[in-house]
Amino acid sequence: MAVRFAVLGDSMAAGLGVDDPAELPGVVLATGLADELGTPVRLETFAVPGATSRDLASQVDRVVAEPPDVALVIIGGNDVTTRLSVAESAVLLGAQVRRLREAGVGVVVGTCPDLGTVRPIAEPLRSEAREWSCWLARAQRVEVERAGGVAVALGDLLAAEFHARAADYFSRDRFHPSAAGYEAATSVLLAPLCGVVRHEWWPR
pLDDT over 70 (residue 121)? no
- pLDDT at residue 201 in the model: 60
CA dist 80 → 34, 130, 192 (Å):
34, 9, 25
Closest CA to 80 of 107, 110, 115: 115
Using CA atoms, how far residue 111 sits from 1, 21, 153, 204, in Å, is 30, 24, 5, 29
Q: How many domains does the chain have?
A: 1
pLDDT per residue over 36-48, tens digit each? 999 999 999 999 9
Residue from 61, 163, 173, 199 carrying the catalytic annotation:
173
Whether residue 124 is preceded by a cis peptide bond, meaning omega within 30 degrees of 0, is: yes
What pLDDT shows up at residue 166? 74
CB 64 within 8 A of CB 99: yes
- CATH number reported for the structural domain that contains residue 143 in this entry: 3.40.50.1110
Lowest mean pLDDT among 12-26, 48-62, 155-169: 155-169
The count of other CB atoms within 10 Å of the CB of residue 190 is: 18
What is the SS3 assignment for 52? coil
Catalytic position from the list 11, 53, 89, 178: 11
Residue 66: per-residue pLDDT = 96
The residue that leads in pLDDT, 127 or 21, is 21
Question: Is 53 labeled as catalytic in the residue annotation?
Answer: no
Q: Averaged over 46-52, what is the pLDDT?
A: 96
Q: For all residues of the chain together, what is the average pLDDT?
A: 90
Confidence at residue 202, expressed as pLDDT on a 0 to 100 scale: 55
C-beta separation of 116 from 159 below 8 A: yes
Return the half-sphere exposure (C-beta side, CA atoms, 13 A cut-off) of residue 35: 8
Helix H or strand E segment including 27: helix 25-37
**Which residue among 10, 53, 69, 176 is the active-site one?**
176
Which domain, by its residues, includes 93? 3-200
Q: Is 79 in the active site?
A: no
Where is mean pLDDT largest: 8-17, 57-66, 114-123, 161-170? Answer: 57-66
Cα–Cα separations (whole angstroms), residue 117 to 4, 15, 77: 33, 18, 12
Which residue in 177, 197, 175 sits closest to 185, CA to CA?
177
| Alpha carbon 111 to chain centroid, angstroms | 6
pLDDT confidence tier of residue 203, bands split at 50, 70 and 90: very low
Q: Is 173 annotated as catalytic?
A: yes
Question: 96: exposed, middle or buried (C-beta count within 10 Å: 0-12, 13-18, 19+)?
Answer: buried
Q: Which residue has the higher pLDDT, 125 or 181?
A: 181
- What pLDDT is attached to residue 115? 77
pLDDT(190) > 90 = yes
| CA separation for the pair 180, 37 (Å, rounded) | 24
